[in-house]
């Protein structure tokens, strides 16, 4: 109680209010850690599922896309693609798959550092950083789908018009009906964004009542949970 009474910004606040503010700061950090954990877990599970149906494949052919590889009926799909001059599916996004673990690790560490270190004006970077993960995956996937459907070998046995396979829902490619749906990994990434969104709302409220708010710039000098977090700078 003596320690609380010595801090001028907290003199008029009951101990419960001070403790609540400290807890809120730790909740922001824990939410950032939870987002990083969700992103890491998404490395181990599928992100997208493609199913292709045709008269000769009534049960369908399946392609399961994860951040580190492609599984399912890859060989059969590659054989079919050969006839229309389409490249091998497993040749897509090789660099992205090789760098996935490093990228996810950097993203998780970055989310925690941003939650701790940025000032109020830059706090939206938490959500923007988190959004870059699922949005980046979608953008890269659409790029490769477009590339595979447009870079067709003109010498292929079968000629067909260029196309872009569906990323969501049902589509038709020649005699094949395709169904594309997101899997657990994508939803884990979205859950991480939600965690960072909640952390942002809470952090902005914390920053609004912080004793250092008038001097706050790009960096939080107390690192959000430092020993003098929330207290104004000492007079020179």
Residues in the chain: 236
Neighbours of 178 (CB within 10 A): 19
Bigger pLDDT: 213 vs 200: 200
With CA atoms as reference, report the closest residue to 47 among 55, 59, 39: 39
Q: Name residues whose C-beta falls within 8 Å of residue 191's C-beta, 6 or more positions apart in sequence.
A: 38
- Write the CATH number for 140: 1.20.140
CA 10 to CA 231: how far, in whole Å?
9
Residue 179 has pLDDT above 90, yes or no: yes
The CA angle 142-191-219, to the nearest 5 degrees, is 95
Q: Please report whether residue 14 resides in a domain.
A: no
- The neighbouring-strand residues paired with 71 are 64
Chain-centroid distance of CA 58 in Å reads 35
Q: Please report whether residue 3 resides in a domain.
A: no
Neighbours of 87 (CB within 10 A): 16
CA 94 to CA 75: how far, in whole Å?
17
The answer to whether the CB of 199 falls within 8 A of the CB of 3 is no
For 51, phi and psi rounded to 5 degrees? -125, 130
Domain count, the chain: 1
Bigger pLDDT: 46 vs 223: 46
Q: Please report whether residue 171 resides in a domain.
A: yes
Bigger pLDDT: 36 vs 17: 36
Taking only the tens place, the pLDDT of each residue in 38-49 is: 999 999 999 999
Please tell me the predicted confidence (pLDDT) of residue 5. Answer: 41
- Residue 78 lies in domain: 20-215
Q: Please report whether residue 169 resides in a domain.
A: yes
Taking only the tens place, the pLDDT of each residue in 133-153 is: 999 999 999 999 999 999 998
Q: Please report whether residue 6 resides in a domain.
A: no
What is the Cβ-side half-sphere exposure of residue 70, based on CA atoms within 13 angstroms? 18
Structure tokens at 228: 């003098």
Please tell me the predicted confidence (pLDDT) of residue 3. Answer: 44
The CA angle 92-95-99, to the nearest 5 degrees, is 130
Q: Please report whether residue 49 resides in a domain.
A: yes
The answer to whether the CB of 39 falls within 8 A of the CB of 31 is no
Q: Please report whether residue 230 resides in a domain.
A: no
Helices (H), 153-222: 184-208
Q: Please report whether residue 110 resides in a domain.
A: yes
The answer to whether the CB of 141 falls within 8 A of the CB of 68 is no
Taking only the tens place, the pLDDT of each residue in 97-106 is: 999 999 999 9
Q: Name residues whose C-beta falls within 8 Å of residue 35's C-beta, 6 or more positions apart in sequence.
A: 108, 111, 130, 192, 193, 195, 196, 199
Predicted TM-score (pTM) of the model is 0.84
CA 145 to CA 150: how far, in whole Å?
9
Taking only the tens place, the pLDDT of each residue in 115-126 is: 988 877 888 899
């Amino acid at each position: 109680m003596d320690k609380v009474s010595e801090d001028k910004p907290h003199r008029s606040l009951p101990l419960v209010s001070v403790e609540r503010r400290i807890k809120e700061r730790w909740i922001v950090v824990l939410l950032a850690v939870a987002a990083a954990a969700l992103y890491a877990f998404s490395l181990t599970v599928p992100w997208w599922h493609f199913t292709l149906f045709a008269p000769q494949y009534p049960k369908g052919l399946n392609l399961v896309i994860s951040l580190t590889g492609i599984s399912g009926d890859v060989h059969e799909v590659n054989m079919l693609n050969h006839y229309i001059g389409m490249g091998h599916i497993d040749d897509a996004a090789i660099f992205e798959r090789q760098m996935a673990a490093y990228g996810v690790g950097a993203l998780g560490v970055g989310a925690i550092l941003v939650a701790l270190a940025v000032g109020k004006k830059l706090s939206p970077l938490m959500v923007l950083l988190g959004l870059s993960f699922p949005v980046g995956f979608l953008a890269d996937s659409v790029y490769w789908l477009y590339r595979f459907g447009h870079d067709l070998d003109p010498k292929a046995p079968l000629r067909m018009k260029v196309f872009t396979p569906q990323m969501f829902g049902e589509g038709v490619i020649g005699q094949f009906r395709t169904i594309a749906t997101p899997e657990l990994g994508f939803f884990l990434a979205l859950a991480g964004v939600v965690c960072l969104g909640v952390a942002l709302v809470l952090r902005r409220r914390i920053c609004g009542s912080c004793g250092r708010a008038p001097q706050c710039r790009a960096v939080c000098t107390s690192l959000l949970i430092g020993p003098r977090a929330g207290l104004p700078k000492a007079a020179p």
